[in-house]
């Protein structure tokens, strides 16, 4: 079984996330994509994150109807900082026959050499790096930090350019601006009903 592992806060989930997941599913011929909401992202230790329950609810609305997409609470159940190497190690232990593909944006590829045990991550999964908006994938900093052999294990994928982020959506919601057509309508309605992000500014 080929599983795409797509981690992040998804705060909130938006069409960019969904397009990335579907593009990778198709190009890599994945059997499933697991959306993996982080409990405590190591790079966001000092940021306020929407409670896990609400982020999961938004993901459920967003992926409804796609049988290849599912939500995993593995990192939420584990608590503490959500290190990718720990997540992939646990998945390999629980489903040893699965072939894992780690789906990341181009910005994360830039940071990847600073992650905990990056070479071990490459032993556990194929890294699939995807452009984000105008931010295209550049393998050279990765190659300089981790070497040619590591760089050869990264699969670069192009998706339609979607130049917005969860940060953008939170700012728009906080300002009372429309987020319609940026996220699935059930997610937009949930944000409004729950009053999420209104106190962010």
Q: Is residue 181 part of a domain?
A: yes
Dig out the tokens for 120 from the structure: 């071990």
Q: What is the mean pLDDT of the chain?
A: 92
Q: Is residue 200 part of a domain?
A: no
Q: Is residue 199 part of a domain?
A: no
Q: What is the CATH number of the domain that holds 66?
A: 3.40.50.620
* 74-109 tens-digit pLDDT: 999 987 888 999 999 999 999 999 999 999 998 899
Question: Is the pTM for the entire model greater than 0.85?
Answer: yes
pLDDT band at 135 (very low <50, low <70, confident <90, very high): low
Q: Is residue 155 part of a domain?
A: yes
| Domain interval for residue 129 | 2-194
Q: Is residue 114 part of a domain?
A: yes
Which DSSP string do the residues of 79-132 spell out, in sequence order?
A: -SB--HHHHHHHHHHHSTTPEEEEEEEHHHHHHGGGSSSHHHHHHH-EEEEE-B
The whole-number average pLDDT for the span 118-139 is 89
Is pLDDT above 50 for 45?
A: yes
pLDDT at 129: 96
Closest CA to 48 of 175, 189, 196, 179: 196
Number of separate domains in the chain: 1
Is pLDDT above 70 for 201?
A: no
Q: Is residue 201 part of a domain?
A: no
């Amino acid at each position: 079984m080929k599983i795409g592992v797509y981690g992040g806060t998804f705060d909130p989930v938006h069409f960019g996330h969904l397009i990335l997941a579907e593009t990778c599913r198709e190009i890599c011929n994945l059997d499933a994509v697991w959306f993996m909401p982080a409990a405590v992202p190591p790079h966001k230790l000092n940021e306020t994150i929407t409670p896990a329950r609400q982020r999961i609810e938004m993901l459920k609305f967003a992926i409804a109807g796609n049988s290849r997409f599912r939500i995993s609470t593995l990192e939420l159940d584990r608590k503490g900082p959500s290190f990718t190497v720990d997540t992939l190690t646990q998945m390999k232990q629980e489903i040893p026959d699965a072939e894992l593909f780690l789906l990341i944006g181009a910005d994360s590829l830039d940071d990847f050499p600073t992650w905990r045990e990056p070479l071990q991550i490459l032993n556990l999964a194929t890294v699939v790096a995807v452009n984000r908006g105008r931010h295209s994938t550049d393998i050279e900093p990765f190659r300089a930090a981790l070497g040619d052999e590591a760089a050869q294990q990264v699969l670069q994928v192009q998706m339609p350019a979607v130049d917005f982020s969860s940060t953008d959506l939170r700012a728009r919601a906080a300002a009372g601006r429309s987020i319609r057509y940026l996220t699935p309508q059930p997610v937009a309605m949930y944000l409004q009903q729950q009053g999420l992000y209104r106190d962010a500014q």
